[in-house]
A and B are shown apart, each in its own frame.
Chain A
Amino acid sequence: MQRRVIFDNKLLPYLLLAPQVAVTLVFFIWPAAQAIWQSVHIQDAFGLRSEFVWFENFEVILRDPNYIETLKTTAIFSVSVTVLSLGVALLLAVLADSKIKGARAYKTLLIWPYALAPAVAAVLWMFIFNPEIGSLGQLLNRLGLDWDYRLNGTQAMIMVILAASWKQVAYNFIFFLAGLQAIPRSVMEAASIDGAGPVRRFWTITFPLLSPTTFFLLVVDMVYAFFETFGTIHALTHGGPGKSTETLIFRVYQDGVVNNDLGASSAQSVILMVIVIALTAVQFRFVERKVHYA
């Protein structure tokens, strides 16, 4: 059903929209346009002159084997963070939704990580995984695992994936729990009378009914992993050791801010933007079809 609001004043609707439009213009359209403009220019070392170079920046980047490596790193990182944070959050939400003692306290505790600044969270993870002083780091070494994320790229990757997922679990958990609580109890009871055990009930009733939530979170988590994990990586590993935890977003920062190569950095931002838009479009096109909106 469509509802229309009738305004007497012709100007009022535009005035009401103006703040939103202004924010979008200043914080998204303008920087995005600038990034696109810069991505087709090369600046001299002092930033005084710039030269229009068509797609040279893009060519250089896409020919760079390092950049392809970064793409792979990003894919591994993003898929892992999304799958891990969705999976863990769903498991925790199912547990919290079932009748357990102290469910309220448990729910509140689970929501806390979301309120934590990435840098603070990163320090916490360092205290856990530091090979000399971290509780888990020490334990792993005592078990003979040779744990040092500052030297071992795979270990560093595992740590940033855990840290980035951990923060997002809290967010996913809230949505999954709300989704679970929206499923009428009697539907689950009907299924158990129909003969379905807990596992089958989960896969044939709960999971399909949660699919709108899961789909929404899939998009959100993907975007989170691509864009919003910069702080976590920056604080924990600085993209290292080597370039083993350098994701696209981290490299944009590295090239643009640290190496002052604005053209390359902008071209990368544009590529990143295109990737995320494409991913979101694909998700809406193919995944949403399988989603059951009740």
Chain B
Amino acid sequence: MRIGQRVLLASVGIYLLLFFGPLAGFDLFRVIGEIANKPSTLLQQLLIGLANGSLLALIALGYTLVYGIIELVNFAHGDVYMLGAFMSLTVIGAFNVDKGSSPAIKATAIVVAFLSAVVFTAGVNALIERVAYRRLRNAPRLAVLISAIGMSFIVQNVGLFWGSLRAFFPIMGVNSAAPKAFPDLIGRIDVFKDILHIDVPIAFNTKDLLVIVMASVLMIGLRLFVQYTKLGKAMRATAENRDAAKIMGIDVDRVISFTFLLGGALAGAAGLLVGLYNNTAVFTMGFTAGLRAFTAAVVGGIGNITGAMLGGMLIGILAAFSDQYFSSRWTNAWVFAVLVMVMVFRPTGLLGESVGQKA
């Protein structure tokens, strides 16, 4: 795009923002006033944004890993994450734990739920690739895309059905489509006030800590894995050039399966963490979270692992700011406005490389 066009587009954008922004809660003077009045709220929202953003990043990684390797938007990915939350809920239900149980039992339930959810969603995601995408590897793009949308609906309905199995899993409650109560096993103990005994005006509790620490560990682990292990290098090689990877002696089908396993595992972990964080799970949660996570992946530069993490954090923080300072009803609109802006001004995403460089 020529510079002149960009300037024009930017001016039109700013004009629209100033006139219509206040409708969507964007009233710059009020926002600045609020921030000046109580700056600690800004920090508080930053923390909330980081916690939600790390969860989004975990899901975004699944989109980006798969896109990077076979250039497919795996629409079912968000729903696989939902299955992770349902699996965790089922396991925790089987342990029959709740807020009042002893810490040892709670911890055991969480660890078992984590392992079951991760193994289950990894398997489901790899199975989806095997049945719905592999045969279409050389088919036109549209065919695979439609197959992916179909898988998304199927998985969502599996969730709906699962939610109706209260005869086997009482924790699912009476109404199959309604949000399920996810037991509050972590609790909200304030890290600064109650553990460190520091008096600060922001609240940062054990749930935030758990989510941020777990997500960071998983993401750093993934980054190191892809950078240094043999299988990680095979993933990068397959993503960069599939034919060349075959010539190297890489079993490309296995590497692709493994990539789906990895993305699914991260989604399963996110499913458990979200359950523990928000204490609710519903069969449509994968659709909404998936949309935001996909946006995060695109904003960061789809196919780029660091980009997905960055995009997740940015979208998380943006959403927290919008909830606080603009209007929570308009948060999705703001998220997608950012998506559109990025697409217009930097179509490759923040850290993405141009497609031409890939050849």
Are both chains from one complex?
no
Chain A interface residues toward B at CB < 8 A: none
